[in-house]
Amino acid sequence: MLHKKDKYRVAIIGATGVVGEEMLEILASRKFPIEKLFLFASERSAGKTYSFFEEELCVENLEDADFSKIDLILGATSSTLARTYTPKALKAGCVIIDNSSAFRMEPLVPLIVPEVNGALANLDQAIFANPNCSTAQMVVALKPLHDAATIKRVNVTTFQSVSGTGKEAIEELMQQTKAVLSFKEPECHVYSEQIAFNCIVNWDCDPETGDTEEEEKIVAETRKIFDDPNFRISATTVRVPVFRSHGQSISIETEKKLSLNEARAILAEAPGITVLDDPARKVYPTPLDTVGQDNVYVGRVREDQSTKNGLHLWVVADNLRKGAALNAIQIAECLIQ
């Protein structure tokens, strides 16, 4: 459990990845009360340095970590690595906020998006899970509408940027784009198919159901966050040639009828949401609009004519911030408050 203090000894594990680097920037910008900050990564990244206020921090090898010196861990690693270091960290008394999928569906591990179920962030718990980036931004947009009118069904199609896969995927999109524009054959390493000038819909697919792992995560995690195992939701996930920020086309059906103006007003008043929706002036959010922004952006609120009490939403957010690093730090802020 996390003991109340004026300042905390914090560690970022996976500090040199895209999410870890974003965590470092957000800790500084939000002035999180830090006594000492530790940066850990794999042996190959050890020795890299980062500036944190006026201090130069050196990345340490995770294998050499002394967890007894740490109060709070922000995990930004793979599920495999998270399962490896977590038992040692818990034994040393650390509190962990993990960004991988390792513990999300564990019954005793809270899966938290602060705007939705932040009350679950309590000091008696030792480990907390961050949801999938697509799940996080979607539930922020759905929660106020669910509270106001009770959502009966959700159908979501995601348009996910390559940064959700990591630095290697960002580099692959850059290199493939250069190759195609130079009339060269692009090489595929991170994705099995070319991502430049393309869309990929069939990664990590279950051969029996046809569902991808990403689609299964969205369904299962949304049900857990809303504390409703029977919540009706289906998902299709698409990887698109965008560097950063995820878009989502969401259709919902509610028990109570909401007019478009009512829905816009509810969303505009909700925490963590920015509404950009003016059809007459062609105002709506795009991935570029949301890069580096903390809020979830909602636009193109429309009536779904195919069903009773139906609405369409276009939802966009920075997947490295609200979808990952920011959400983890918001959970930490809930704990220390």
Comparing CA positions, the residue from 7, 23, 3, 26 lying closest to residue 15 is: 23
Contact status, residue 318 vs residue 291, Cβ threshold 8 Å: yes
236's tokens: 């299709």
Catalytic status, residue 133: yes
Contact status, residue 205 vs residue 278, Cβ threshold 8 Å: no
26's tokens: 């957000």
Residues 6+ apart with CB under 8 A from 23: 12, 15, 74, 76, 325, 328, 329
Contacts 24+ apart (CB under 8 A), 217-222: 217/101, 217/104, 217/131, 217/132, 217/134, 217/135, 218/132, 218/134, 218/135, 218/138, 218/156, 218/158, 220/105, 221/104, 221/105, 221/111, 221/131, 221/132, 221/135, 222/135, 222/138, 222/139, 222/154
> Is the alpha carbon torsion for 64, 67, 70, 75 positive or negative?
positive
First to last CA, the chain: 14
- Active-site residue identified among 3, 58, 94, 133: 133
Residues in the chain, overall count: 337
Catalytic status, residue 312: no
- Active-site residue identified among 146, 199, 246, 312: 246
Residues taking part in catalysis? 133, 246
